[in-house]
Structure 1
């Protein structure tokens, strides 16, 4: 019983914050439904997510890597790394590095390092049954080696690493409970990386030996911290170890102990060092005031490492030591906000520069240095967990080596920035959410303007539902592309999923014709993907075989499928006259779809646009011809088809549906959206008017039901938005499953409680079938909730695409974002049966 109490509590919390307006009303003599529709999650593109978590520049300062460890191209938190080259003084992306697997929680890029020859990327694989890896690339972004260690599952191998020339140091801070560290040397003759494990002189369970690992600038010293080491009875005081390279072997040199140990001090949680200076933070994790410090150790004339300084920020919790970077002449310490710099002129000779906040220089610079921080020859470089990389330049460069007694002479400015808008996989303009579909615990969302394969080539994200994990419910499984994708295809303009099969339309794809040895322009294609061992694999590409006759047919603009059959619309097919339209029928053979027939209405005419919308349920289908001219210009029509077994063995036109209304104006576009389930069919007419005079595109959805006696389809209801708002285009999208119906009104204006109007924000309207006397065959649709985005914005067109599967409702808003920079998102809602039925 307790779990139901928890669910109800969570539901009440969601209801309190939801943008779903509950509608409680009696419809005729039917049963009263108290609808409860909760907003579950806003789903958005995670490309470039946490860009700047780590960054590094090679010693020659020609190449830079920036990590995005929670990017979701290969799955939830799968990660990515962006490789840049400096060309004519400008940083230009030359490659995007992705993990080799399609899996969740790989965290590829949680650590990165770069030399003048190699790029090292850590992939610790958190929380999964696989060991971590370090992937080695050349400076062109080509994968050349993979380093792994056996028995490192959950060891976080690769969580930290560093590189010097042909040497890489890698930690697995949770291996064997104590933590382990290896140093690998590249063998040019064998072209493999040969490893030596460093001896831990003070092994201790849960000490996380390998919390930080670093080389000095000459590569003959290595620093390893164990920031959770218990020291002299003080829990998690922290400790550090220094190693030296002697005759090709790494040996323990000395241990650096905390001089002011305290519980949870975690000495060395952040660390850096050079040939003469070591910097270890302490107290950063406590969150308390007066205990954030950075300990400085320096090499004296006897080559002994001696603690010489403790830098701190007393009086308030500035998170001093959030990150540290040091060389022989300067130390930079990150705090919140800003940084503090100390210059070194010799042994234990430090000059402090007052703290400054880069955000005060440029408001776009947030959390400078929280990811990485370091000096180059000319710049102070800092990356943040979500804000890219910033290059700060000191106006008086003399101060870089001298110190600054007067802040007037120490002015900094932003010389360059690289952020999410600069990466090839930027979500800006992608229009995520232009299409959506749901099947069970899987969902697909189209991003038809994604540029990874070329401008507006398109892509599709695949999600899996996992209830209430870290506040989310939908997690990225994969990002799909057409194998031959190219600019302008708009792959993902339409999507559909059923069990372990996904179909994706690229209606502007130019299809190569063997007959003419040329591309058929905008013929269109549909791609089939199947789930093979949890990997979504493209298994088939489908297009019409009509050669140049298929030019501009837009095959794949709409389609629907089940496990046996597939119908694909080509609404500008010309066989019945220019742009009359057609639908191509296929059957599944067990391994692929095979073409069976081309469907065209018996009364098809020029310009009908037959196939603009398609819906399939078992052996029944409905196809929209949104520009058909009977009973008026561009009024539209919809056709019902049945699949009949032998002797006919094909699709037979059963009925033609037309809007039955007191007012049917021209340009109603009845059939712009269709959906069918059991013996109910719904047809969207987004420009239908309620007045013979006004032309305001309010929109209507017409409901038809099959008469089992006559086998005809009769209109039983006409639905419209409860406020009949002008220009809302109610019915632009429809999705019907069983007793649930979802209708999109993509241009509906949202008006908040302060009467602020968000033009074209969009809405969706959720209905439930209300049977009369318990008989499903009699009744009607009752409005349950008006849904809006969690944070409505102007012109986001929420409701352009809708999908319903059981209790799950998914709604796209592909123009979320500013004009010309639409990134888009999708909103997930839950139709909660506990509240809807009262138990």
Structure 2
């Protein structure tokens, strides 16, 4: 069973590893948490004889301790699918992507699988069941559908594209799926409703859709390698608003001090009336320390209201590479390159529209190369950080993940 240590009402860490872990699994290559459930991807895991088919491990919080209860795989999984590359969870529904899945004769077309709890089973040890497989209606080879994910109770955003086929780059796009209001937990009917195309087709390498987030009525989509004027890799983020049954581009966000290779749009988050955009390449403390920008509505558009970095921060930390927000006004930001890629994560809270750093998180057993903070998840009082290249015993890059509970009386 996984390595565990009981969480207390202080800053305590619980490290977990897979109960069947092996070298090169990359456990922690995607993380998601919702209430008492957590989902951790191991996209490179071999299943049977299928190398890199991928697995997602389910953890449940039981009496304050996170315990592995289940392993999820795709019902039709194949080698190299990398199931568990990205995970999104909302309202008791989990989406798990396998962006390199072969669909028919289309290599690397990709798929996203929908899981919900099994209502017929009262057991807490195996409640999640695959209900649906989502694919692009006009999918093609090398589409890599599912390279990024975001969802709410009604919609899902699924990023795709960016790979090359016959020397031509597949355009980056974001697919919008809608959950049928009449659906049941046992059926999970989702329908493709819209295709959001790159707003700057003249810049096909801008990584549009590389980062996604979704609230009830807003979507924020990053394009971190966008060229602005003569600045390669400066980056942009796009605001979409729900309009009737669809989504409409309403604004483009850009850093007021943008520079080449800032990678503005590395990560994105929404909290109430704030849009937050990570820029992992921003120069701080002499090099790519990274920064996060906050934007808020102003008149008919959005205005930059804050720029912040880690304190004390370090050179080449890539702060802002990952980001997660909670409904309680907390923000978790990854900086996986800190201290020679040992990695770090930072917790911020909002006070009067300003984000203030509250805690720097470092894995107690972290070492160089573990990339702690490459993936982050946050819900309520629970923090989850992936460290997918961590060595476990003699297993290189088996991977690990770390849980923390935010103290009730956070100073």
What interval of TM-score do these two structures reach, taking the shorter chain for normalisation? 0.7 to 0.9
Give the aligned partner of residue 586 of structure 1: 240
Q: State the superposition RMSD in angstroms.
A: 2.4
- Choose which of 211, 220, 228 in structure 2 pairs with 1:558: 211
Where do residues 425-444 of structure 1 align in structure 2 (5 Å cutoff)?
Answer: 427-444=78-95
- Choose which of 40, 46, 63 in structure 1 pairs with 2:75: 46
State yes or no: 1:744 paired with 2:393.
Answer: no
- Secondary structure in 2 aligned to 1:433? coil
Where do residues 369-448 of structure 1 align in structure 2 (5 Å cutoff)?
Answer: 427-448=78-99
Give the aligned partner of residue 301 of structure 2: 650
Work out the CA distance in 2 between the residues paired with 1:766 and 1:669: 21
CA contact (8 A) 2:375 2:385 kept: yes
Give the aligned partner of residue 399 of structure 2: 762
Where do residues 166-315 of structure 1 align in structure 2 (5 Å cutoff)?
Answer: none
Shift of residue 27 of structure 1? 4.9
Measured against aligned partners, the alpha-carbon deviations of 1:230-259 in whole angstroms (never above 9, x if no partner) come to xxxxxxxxxxxxxxxxxxxxxxxxxxxxxx
- Choose which of 254, 259, 281 in structure 2 pairs with 1:605: 259
Where do residues 322-721 of structure 1 align in structure 2 (5 Å cutoff)?
Answer: 427-452=78-103, 454-466=106-118, 468=121, 472-508=126-162, 521-532=169-180, 533-534=182-183, 535-547=189-201, 549-576=202-229, 577-644=231-298, 648-661=299-312, 664-665=314-315, 667-677=316-326, 678-689=328-339, 695=340, 697-708=341-352, 711-721=353-363
Work out the CA distance in 2 between the residues paired with 1:712 and 1:498: 25
Give the aligned partner of residue 5 of structure 2: 21
CA contact (8 A) 1:509 1:525 kept: no
CA contact (8 A) 2:142 2:161 kept: no
Work out the CA distance in 2 between the residues paired with 1:494 and 1:502: 11
After TM superposition, what 4+ stretches of structure 1 lie above 3 angstroms from structure 2?
17-21, 23-28, 467-471, 519-523
Work out the CA distance in 1 between the residues paired with 2:323 and 2:279: 10
Shift of residue 446 of structure 1? 0.7
When Rg is computed on C-alpha atoms for both structures, the one with the higher figure is: 1
Structure 1 pair 551–611 and aligned structure 2 pair: CA distance change class (3 A): same
Shift of residue 509 of structure 1? 6.9
CA contact (8 A) 2:97 2:146 kept: yes
Write 1 or 2 for the structure with the bigger share of helix. Answer: 1
CA contact (8 A) 2:114 2:131 kept: yes
- Secondary structure in 2 aligned to 1:713? strand
Shift of residue 522 of structure 1? 4.4
Give the aligned partner of residue 59 of structure 2: none
Shift of residue 763 of structure 1? 1.2
Measured against aligned partners, the alpha-carbon deviations of 1:567-589 in whole angstroms (never above 9, x if no partner) come to 11111111252111111111001
Measured against aligned partners, the alpha-carbon deviations of 1:75-127 in whole angstroms (never above 9, x if no partner) come to xxxxxxxxxxxxxxxxxxxxxxxxxxxxxxxxxxxxxxxxxxxxxxxxxxxxx
Where structure 1 has 5 or more consecutive residues not aligned to the other structure, the ranges are 1-16, 48-425, 511-518, 690-694, 752-756, 773-777, 780-839
Shift of residue 462 of structure 1? 0.8
Shift of residue 475 of structure 1? 1.0
TM-score, normalisation: structure 1: 0.40
Measured against aligned partners, the alpha-carbon deviations of 1:180-225 in whole angstroms (never above 9, x if no partner) come to xxxxxxxxxxxxxxxxxxxxxxxxxxxxxxxxxxxxxxxxxxxxxx
CA contact (8 A) 2:11 2:404 kept: no
Measured against aligned partners, the alpha-carbon deviations of 1:25-48 in whole angstroms (never above 9, x if no partner) come to 7559xxxx973212121111221x
- Choose which of 373, 376, 388 in structure 2 pairs with 1:734: 376
CA contact (8 A) 1:586 1:596 kept: yes
CA contact (8 A) 1:455 1:488 kept: yes
CA contact (8 A) 2:135 2:145 kept: yes
TM-score, normalisation: structure 2: 0.79
Shift of residue 616 of structure 1? 1.5
Structure 1 pair 27–469 and aligned structure 2 pair: CA distance change class (3 A): closer
